[in-house]
Structure 1
Amino acid sequence: MVGCEGVSVLLFWLLAKINHKGHSSNKVNTGSVVKGMAERAFITFTMINGITQSLTLFAALKIATRIKDEENKISNDYYLLGNLLSITLAIIYSQLIIKYIG
């Protein structure tokens, strides 16, 4: 899974480059990497334990944290792709854990 996280950092970095608006919130840094790892750990844990409803909670929390005023508008496509990639990685992790460990 460490290798997968390395690939995910590269993918998120490329995604930030594609979204070349230059906003500081679109840059990949240590904080965003750790936050993403924590998010995927949460999703993986809940999926392994069969609590798939947590995806709804996770999505609601992500949307709530992205609500900004008009002056600080964000790129919705950037965050949508990032969240979908994060959830996909967590699904892969949970399936690997179920298959090889569980």
Structure 2
Amino acid sequence: MNLSLIYISLIILSELGSILFFWFLAKYNKDKISLSSIMKGLLERAFICFSLLVGYPHVLTLFAALKIATRIKDESKISNDYYFIGNLVSVSLAILYTLLIEQHILLTG
């Protein structure tokens, strides 16, 4: 079996296991787990993984700052979610643009 396929399968199984774990945790605390919270967790892990894969470990500091900023009490939880997700997408795009410029423009120019 291809090693890449094994790793991808391991990641998928780990994500399913984390969803199950958080579902049990929410049930134990008599909370409800929503699809949006599952998707936010997937997005967070994808962002961290992407950042580490492209060699930007200092993005972990940015990620921690974003998490703290969204914990600040606001009268609207939606604004915190949009702030967090918007910043993750923005930083991810900036990293992608940097990679494209480094690999395809600076090296060929």
Q: TM-score, normalised by structure 2?
A: 0.52
Amino acid at match of 2:44: E
Q: Give, in whole Å, the separation in 2 of the partners of 1:19 and 1:52.
A: 34
Q: Give, in whole Å, the separation in 2 of the partners of 1:32 and 1:41.
A: 14
Match for residue 90 of structure 1?
none
Runs of at least 5 residues in structure 1 that lack an aligned partner in the other structure: 21-25, 70-102
The one of 5, 23, 32 aligned to 1:13 = 23
Match for residue 23 of structure 1?
none
Q: CA deviation at 1:19?
A: 3.6
Matches within 5 A, 1:45-64: 45-64=50-69
Matches within 5 A, 1:23-62: 26-62=31-67
Amino acid at match of 1:48: L
- List, as ranges, runs of 4+ consecutive aligned residues in structure 1 with deviation greater than 3 Å: 17-20
Runs of at least 5 residues in structure 2 that lack an aligned partner in the other structure: 1-10, 75-109
Aligned residues: 66
Q: CA deviation at 1:18?
A: 4.1
Percent identity between the two aligned chains: 55
Structure number with greater Rg is 2
Q: TM-score, normalised by structure 1?
A: 0.56
Cα RMSD for the two superposed structures: 2.2
